[in-house]
Structure formats: structure tokens, C-alpha cells
Structure 1
Amino acid sequence: MQLKDIQVTIQQIGVAISSVLKLEVEIADHELYRIAGTGAVKSGIWQKMSNEDFVYRECLNTGKPVIVDRPGYHKLCGPCMHYRNCKEHGEVCCPILLDGRVLGVIGLIAFTNEQRDRLFTDLEAKIEFLDKMAELIATKMKETELLEEQLLAERKMSTLIGYIDNGVILIDPAGECTYLNQAASRLLELPDGQLPDISVVEQCLTPFIRDETASRMKRITDSSESDGKLAVVKTGGKYIHLFLTYHPFHEGGEGQQDGVLVIADPKRMADVAMKYSEESHKGFDTIIGNHPLIESLKDLLRKTANSYSPILLQGENGTGKEFIAESIHRYSKRKDAPYLTVNCAVLTEKVLHHRLFGDELQNGIVAEANGGVLFLDDIHEMPMSIQLKLLHLLEEKVLWLSGNAKPAPLNVRLIAATDKELDKLVGKGLFRRDLYYKISVIPIDVPPLRARKQDILLLANHFLQEHSQANRKHIRTLSEDVKAILLSYHWPGNIRELSNIIEYAVNFSNATTIGKEHLPASMRNIELTTGAVQPTDFTYNLRTLERDTIQRALANVQERGEPKENAAKWLGISRATLFRKLQQYDLNG
């Protein structure tokens, strides 16, 4: 916050000072914009004091009062545009200080001989008075800052409470509701803005009563935070089941206290617990898709999740490599150990080196991840010097920790990711061959979305549910023309782009179905393909599907007059994997 934010108040203070002292008052901020003034300087309010600010600048720089008894001839006036031709007859200014900061300058100015006599008569008292006025302005500034902080905190808290999934009800000492968030209104089935009746609040508080003889709130506020209670509450003529928790505010004293009642839907809690339990058993089934390439990927992840060997995830941008790395950690024996990530593309060489390996005083992220998983994204961007250091670390398998005289064994599961063909970068000398072999013990190709079109609608419906819930909307389905567009589009941005498109559509739809008109303009005129994959029109034989998919990719590149190896890009696999599959399915003819 700056002085200009309370300009009206400052101008009122300036006018009051001027009327008392019969002198002109001028007040400027730390950038030397005139924000208040009286008499001859009033017309210059909001103007920058260019080429005439040297006295005030001295006051700002020193933080001390400045007295100019001969304006235009004082040593500070030398560079001024009004040197030896100044209309002022005298000037005194003081800094406006707050918490060690110089906020601006307040000055008294004489434009006549009469005002000059008045200014320099009992000058010490004038400076003391001016200093007190500067303190007054600083105090007003502080008050405004505190008020703004309080209002901002209240807005943040209100927003935060509004987005909490559980219901929150504030209860005053009389046992009445003073506030409830949207979730509480929904759980209690109340219209927006309506507070619950005191009878509803009493039903919610009943499970926490400990002293039947005391007053309503006194019965429960003597205790600390309560354990959760299941209760049946009648509201709106019907009975609902709620899970309740009460939190009293203990502010000292023996009087009745405010409290917070938190309410939740026990069925939803049970569903979440069941889902969590199911996901912990399903493993990589949280990776959405049933295309053979994805089923093969999930099978490979299940087999290698608990291995100690490094994994190299290869795939285009937006295919979900980071999510897959997180899944490997989540469903491995290391799930309770650290999972740390570093993007090699966004840090300078010096910062990346320090982030990975630390120094004598601080451990790097490799040491912090010991016992867990370290994910190195965009590893192709790693500078050669750091590649060498990482190679030695992986080969020696020891860590030198800060403050330790002896090394510690290295126990980190390394997962690296790239959207480049590292083998080609190795051939060009842009990536170390020995490190490439070290990090790609288990190479995993993550297919692009265009290579697994039958998964598009599965993913689209997942994102529809996710973004609808996040935006508090109730959009359930995609229209048939939207489905056709999604299936016909080539998705250069892959899954990330699909999520973005669905989120865009959710924001612009107020219906229960996403229509073509809700899509971005660039998507509405996509040329529809007649052979768009439908989710039920495929065989369940994985080998047949994989063979047919490879054949379609080969036919596609042949029609384009491109070399056979370009089919690897369409399939989202490496060239080595493509040629191995061609040999496996006898497709080299």
C-alpha cells in the first residue's frame, strides 16, 4: 500500500495544517508524485515533481528534516529548473516514516514575505509540529494497511470455507448459527443464503452435550474438540444422516464461547474410503484407458513397480509421463518414502547442480529422496557436466551427506522422462551414451492420444466429471457431435490438451450436456473422419488389436510417402520397439 491509496485523507490533513499555520502544505510520495497540496500547489496534485524535487529527494534519502531559508539559492537548488528564479520564500519538509520505510515527504512552503516570517518564527516548534503530522499520516497509513489486511484475510477465509467439501457452521454463544458455507447449505438442504433454524442447530449439538443441567452452549464448550458423532437430524420435513464434529473456541474466561460445527455426508465418506481401498488393490487401473497399448503399459508397470532398476519414460508432451511416474511410486513398496521431482529444463546449470547434489551445508534432492523415488523430467535438457556427476553417483551408489565424514549408501529409484528420442541425441553427441544405458534399464514408451483413440471418450468423461465438480456444475454428458469431433481430432497436445478442451467447455456451459457450441472455436469445424473409433466396435484380442494398429500406422506413413520408421511416432513408441514388433508380427514384407 502507498500514500496515494489514502490520498483523500492526506489532502484533508494538509488542508487542516494549512488553515492552522496559515502556510501552504505540500505532500509527495516516495516516487515524488504530489498527492496533496494547498494554495498555489493544489493544481499540481497527481503530477510528478520532475526537475524540481531536489529538496524533497534529499529528505527521502536522509530520512531527516530539510530547511531551505533561501529557495533558489540553497545548495540543493543548483540542479533545479527554478534556480535563482524560485517563487518560494522559504520551505521546511519532514519525512513520513513507517516501520523504517520512508513513505514520502510533507512540506511547509511560504510564497510571501508574511508567510516566510510566520514559517521561520519559532522554527523548532514548526518542525516538531510537522513531524507530528507526518506521524499522523503514517498512522493513518498503518490503520488502512491493517484494515486492508483484515478484509483480505476475511475474503480469503470466506473463499476457503466456501470451497471446503465439508459443511461449516459458525455458532454464537446463544447457540444460533451466524454463518454457514455452501456445503453446509447443501447437506442441510437449505436454500442459498438461508440460515438453519435454531432447532436444527440444537439437533446437531445434542450428541456433544455432557452436562444436562447447564445452559445449552455451556454444556459442551467446557470440553476440548470432540470426536466425530453420527446423528439423525430433521430438516425441511425429512430426516438426514450426518457425521458431526464440534470445535469450541477457547479464548479464556468462564463465559459461553463461540464454536464451529463441521458436518459431512457419512455415505460420501464411506464411498471415498471404499474407493481408496479399491484403488490400493487395483494398482495401475487408475491410469485411464483400455487400448492394447495402455493395457500393455499397465502390465509392464505392474511387473516393474517394485524393481530397483531405473525407468526411462519416453513419450510426447502431454501424454501423462509425470502421472505415470507418480503411479509407480504410489503402488510400489516405496509409497511411504519420499517422491521428489526436478524438471531439468527450467533450471540453469548452476541451480540444477545445487538442487540435485547440494553442497557442504545443505543436502541436495538426491539425498532427500534416498529411500524413495526421484523423478527427473525433461532429462534430455540436463547439461553434460551434470550428466557426468549423475552417472558417477549411479555407478558408485553412495551419497556424501552434508555434515557427515563417511558416505551413505544410495537407495533411490530413478525415473527419468523425455519427449525426445534419446538414442538419436546420443548419436549426435548431445547426451552421454553411458548415462543413457544407465537410466534406460527399463524403457517405457507412453503412446500419444492419437494412437489410442478408443480411450478418448473414456478420458473425456473423466475430465468432464473432474472439471464439473471443480467448477461446482452438474454437467453429465457429451453430445454426439462433440464425441465425433473429439474422435476425429489428431490431438497434438495429447491428454493435457484434451483436459484443457473439456475444462474450457465446462466453463462455457450451463446445461447438463456439453454441446459443440461450448468447444473452443478452433475445434468446432474439425473435419470428421468416417472411421472414428467407437468404444464398443473393437475386438478384445490384444495381439490382434496391436497388429492391426501397427498395420494402420504403416499404411498411413506409406500413403504420405514417408519412411517406415515414421510409424513409430504415430504409435508413440521408439523405432527399436517398432522394428521388434514388425518382426514379431511378420510385417516386414
Structure 2
Amino acid sequence: MTALQIISDTAQQVADAISAALGVETEIVDRQFNIVAGTGKYRQLVGSKDYEAVYPDSPFLYGRVLRTGESFIIEDTRENELYGPYTMGEMGEICCPIIMEDSIIGVIALVAFSQEQKENMLTKRNVLQHFLQHMAFLLANTVAAKEAFIKLNINTNLFKTMIESFTSGVISFNAGGRVTHFNSKAEEVIGIKPDLLQGMPIDRFWPNSPVKKVLKTGAGYNNNEEFYQGAGENLHLLVSARPIIIDKKPAGAVVMFSKMAEARSLAYRLTDTQHELHFSHIKGESRIITNLKEKALQVARSSSSILVTGESGTGKELFARAIHCASPRRDKPLVIVNCGAIPETLLESELFGYEEGAFTGARKGGRPGKFELADGGTIFLDEIGDLPLHLQVKLLHVLQRRQVERVGGTKNIDVDVRIIAATNRNLEEMCVSGEFREDLYYRLNVIPLVIPPLRDRREDIPELMDHFLQKYNTLLQKQIAGYREETLKVFMAYHWPGNVRELENSIEYAVNMENQPLVGMESLPARIVGNNCPAAHRPNYNLAAITGETEKKIISELLEKVSTGMVDPQSLPDLLGISRATFYRKLKTYGLAMPKGYRYSPETA
């Protein structure tokens, strides 16, 4: 579409007005010889091409005007060589170029079809030529304005499309801090209707925002953590602001922001190296493990807390990861924390984060804790039994309020986190001894899952052996086909105190050692071959069991001495080097009692 065709309606109105005022016909032609507007005989030709289009390089009138930019007055069309071979009865003509920004975009002409029109037109030729040039100027300005409007509209739509393409909220402010533009994400996060948000001062929805300083100083900032009160919720945002500089002065600002939970979720997805793990990846078809997987799949759909218990090496973390991947939170972070592997002095700041200046060496700007990083997703607290008592109180508050408070901070930060905890310790006994808070235990133990030891599902051992053989064949670039029969019998007979983890490590060792097509006895770890005997005759190397037996024997001997009067019952804790509460707990644990006639309790001791 040519420049004049863009304003064809306006051009036709101009032609009609000229003809009505001057009593002659008007024709407007663009640079491609398209008749854009016309009156009289030309009206019916609007939309078609002038005959000169057939002779674009000819010396005829319109072609010459378009090439030279000159105006012409034709007194007699029959005698003037500028008129082409075809006419419609024209007797005289005044025409001039339509020029816009030094480019000729068309021709406007006054045409006489009668002797009277010709005489009137030629009598006022100079006045009419000047008038026609003025009309050409107005048409050019109209085209320029229309093109500017179209360009502005395109740029506006382009800007809208650009800011809508951001997954973050985008909002711009003028120098006075009022909203000028925003995308739908900004509207969603701020929670104010578009017609109300437009033109609203920033203080109305973000009071005391650092953006106001950007508007004054022209100095922007990146990834600032900011807190505001939204529509029915506390907003925890990650905000970046850029000034709009005009004539070296701040004339506004553009702000990009995201909910902190969404920003961290995105960072998690981009940096997470964990592969998705589903219940189908947990090997075993025994009835006990099948029922457990079905139960775990069922509870995965809720947000209730889960306590996973079981011996070391049974796969508690695998179940936690599978539960997360089967839950509605699967697209959000799964944050894993080993409570027993982090020093107690660091554990609080790791779990709950810290503010700048909270302690010596605290990072500038502070740092979010694991609960904040898990917002919207799941946090897996492994070895929860090792959590110190003072942190158990803080964890209980998180469970009750769904908020965390950073070390050295004063603000409560909302978190939406599902907690899966795991332990190989007896938390009920720890509650009795005062080592674990009973109220926290019940908060965590909403849905208990007990992972069976490998010795209780021996029928799964062959499948696990094949799975790990395939895994380490690939990792170690081996081609071992399977196991000898005696090897399988040894694996089936072994008691597996380290459970599935020990089984995997044993097969990794065997694949490293084996040079034959089948894994033989000589490639197995010595502890497995040496324990290939009936369980009743197998030496007991379990430290916990041995320690317990020894403690019980020593305490029993002391109680006998109490009954004979050789030992003062109140001195028993000191003799054993333990606290009075611990001594009382051990009496209950081992089923022991003070001799008749003697009483002992922490209160009377």
C-alpha cells in the first residue's frame, strides 16, 4: 500500500471539497500511477491505474511531474506534447507534485472538461496553482501524520508484546512515580485491576519502595529483595529497577519483579542436576515393598507431613524423591537437607537463612535458608533425629505458622512447603528421654512410612542384583552377564545389615574385581563370604546391640551391689558417668528396676 493509499478516504474528501469550491474536476494519483481519489469522470476510475502507468518512462505529464517535482499548467491539451495519446475530453489542467520529506509521493491535478471551466481556471492560474501546492502540502502532512500514528501504534503494540513476553512482572513509572505501563503478570502479582493501576502512584501499592530513589537519582539496582503487603497476602519480591534517562535527567523508571518463590523455582529448574525419580524406579516386587509404594503414591497427592523411618541404607531418600515427583508440587523445588551432616553452629542459618550483619562473616544482603528455597515445593529433612532441641522449637513454629524468620531478622516470611522427614532412630524413645520434642514428633508423624530392611524382603534381592549389575556394567564399561549360582545363594543368605546400600556397594566391588562373564565367589567382598553361615551361629558385630548388652550387664551388677548395701543408690549416675535422667531412661529401656526397698527417680535423686 502506497503512502497516499493509506489516506485514500481523506484524499477523496479533499478532492470533493476542491471540486465543489472551484467548479473543476480533481484527480489525485500516487507514485505508481494509482488513481487514489477523483471527481467527475475520474471518480469511477478510483482504484485503477492512470493510462500513464503503461508508459512509466515516457515524457507524459504525470511521469514528468513525478520525476522532476515541477508544477505544470496545460492551456491546451490537444496541442501540448505532455499530454499522452489517450484523453477523456480534458481541455486544460493544472498539476503539482505531492512532496513528503523530499520524496515525491504523488500528483494532484485540477482538470477542466468544458470551455467555461478552462477559461475560469486559466484566468486564475497563478492563484489556483498556489492553492493546489498548498493542498499538496496538506495531503503530505496528512500522510506523515498517518504514518507516524501507524508507527506509534506498531511501536506501542510491539512494546506491549515485548513486556507481555516476560514471565516476570514489568511496570513503568513516570518522573512523578505514577504507573504508565504494565504487563498482565504485574497486574496479577500486585493484585489491582488495570483501570485502577493505570496512573496510580507507587506509594499506593509499594510504600517506601527503593524505586522512588531511582526516580530521584537515576541510579538503578538489580535483584533486590523487597517485602510488601499485597491483596490478601504478603509479597516477597525480587526486584530490579532501571531509570529512563532523557537529557541526562531521570524521567521515569522501568521495574521488573518476580515473586521470590517463582524466581527460586526457576533457578532450581535451571540448576537442578537431580533426575526425576518415580516409584517405578524403586526396585522390588515383594508384597511388603509393593504395598509400601502404593501407600506412598496415595499420600503423595496431599500436602501432609510424612515421617519416613527405617534402617540406614533402606532407601528413605528414594521414597522422598518419588513422593515429590508424584505430587502436585513436582514442578517446584525438592530441597534435601541432611541434619546430621551440617555442624550445629551452621544448621540454623542453613535451614532458616540469615540477614546481612546477623553474625561475623554474614554475606552482604543476607541469604535465604533451605525453607525459602523450597517454597512451593518439598523439603526433605534427613536424619531429623539429630536436630538439636533449640532448632526443633523453630521447626515446630514453621510447621504451625507456615512462616520462617531468618537469623538476625525481624520479618516473618511466608513459606508453602511440604515436609518429609526421615530417621533411622527411634523418635518415640527419644521423646521419652527428652531428646526430641513430643509435639514436633506428632506434627511430623502425620503420615508414617516404615521402609523394611532388605532381610525382610529377600525375594527382591535377585532383581536388585540385576539392576545394579546393569548400572555398573555401564559405568565401568564391563560386560558381565550375570552371577554364578553359588554367588546368588550367598547373597540370598547374607543378613545385609547395611541393606540396599550395602548390596549396591558389594556389586560395584564385584564388577570392579570380576574378569569373567559371571560374578564368582572370589570377586565378592570378604565380609559377605565370611558371613556365609547360618544366622544363629553368626558372630554379632552390631555395635548398638553389643553396647546395649554391655550397658545392661554393668547396670545389673551395680543394682546387685545396691541390694547388698555395697553401693549408695543415689551415686549410681555418677558412677556410670551419666545424668540422672539418662540413668532413669536406661532402667526403663533395659527393663530393670531398683532392688526392693529402694526407690529411684530423677526427682528423689
TM-score by length of structure 1 reads 0.42
